[in-house]
Amino acid sequence: MDTETTRGAERQRTAAEQRRRELLEAADRVVLRDGPQASMNAIAAEAGITKPILYRHFGDKGGLYRALAKRHTDALLSALRAALDAPARRRERVEATLDTYLAAIEARPQVYRFLMHPSDDAAASSEQGFDVGRHSAPLLRRLGEELGKVIAERVDLGPEGDRTARIWGHGIVGMMHAAGDWWLGDRPCSREQLVRSLADLLWGRLAEAGDLPDGPAF
């Protein structure tokens, strides 16, 4: 392959990546407006294209969902890591991490509902055989795995520490998801009160575990 052909292929890849970002941004705008009822028709209209072109980029609504989920999960994981690595005492970092998650779902509830809940509209939720509930499990699993890795890198859990860290990672994500879902719907207390209560629940063995000598302090 000559240099000009290589440059042409690179330009095509760059243009395709830019177009994909633009389509995801259009999808985000529709999701912010419509939540779980966001449809491929509405997203295509927002992007100024036809639905077949949207399918060409993402395959179906499941493909679009996975792209949006990765986009938002990457951003959330980055924010969670920053909270965990902040220069503060462990209890404060635990509270900051919980608050980061809750603040994210509070700031964009429609995005959260799109990612985590099936639509109440049966026609919308079954579009192209799409089931949000079936697709949301991998998202939570990824969050659990990533949080487990962070815990393993920062806390000395003794023998079989990696396995314990994975268990904690999935357990904490499950707790945050369940409590956050309930709180977002009912608003029984302030976000600050929920953060304190969840941190109290966690504040058992985690408070007593030592830091790993060669890892970042937690």
Residue 176, domain CATH:
1.10.357.10
In which band, very low, low, confident or very high, does the pLDDT at 206 lie, cut at 50, 70 and 90? Answer: low
Domain count, the chain: 1
Q: Rounded mean pLDDT of the chain?
A: 85
Residue 178 lies in a domain: yes
Residue 2 lies in a domain: no
Strand-pairing partners, residue 210, are 156
- Please report the pLDDT score of residue 92 as a whole number: 93
In which band, very low, low, confident or very high, does the pLDDT at 203 lie, cut at 50, 70 and 90? Answer: confident
In which band, very low, low, confident or very high, does the pLDDT at 23 lie, cut at 50, 70 and 90? Answer: very high
**Which of 43-57, 92-106, 161-175, 197-211 shows the lowest per-residue confidence on average (mean pLDDT)?**
197-211
More confident residue, 209 or 162: 162
The structure's pTM equals 0.79
% of the chain exceeding 70 in pLDDT? 85
- Per residue in 134-144, pLDDT tens? 567 788 898 99
Residue 47 lies in a domain: no
- Please report the pLDDT score of residue 122 as a whole number: 45
Sequence-distant (6+) residues with CB within 8 A of 208 are none
Q: Which of 32-36, 56-60, 175-179 has the highest mean pLDDT?
A: 175-179
Report, in angstroms and rounded to the nearest whole number, the Rg of the chain calculated over CA atoms: 20
In which band, very low, low, confident or very high, does the pLDDT at 17 lie, cut at 50, 70 and 90? Answer: confident
Q: Is 156 helix (H, G, I), strand (E, B) or coil?
A: strand
* pLDDT, mean of residues 182-188: 95
Domain with 171 in it: 61-208
Residue 17 lies in a domain: no
Residue 114 lies in a domain: yes
What is the signed CA dihedral for 169, 89, 208, 199, rounded to 10 degrees?
-50
More confident residue, 50 or 135: 50
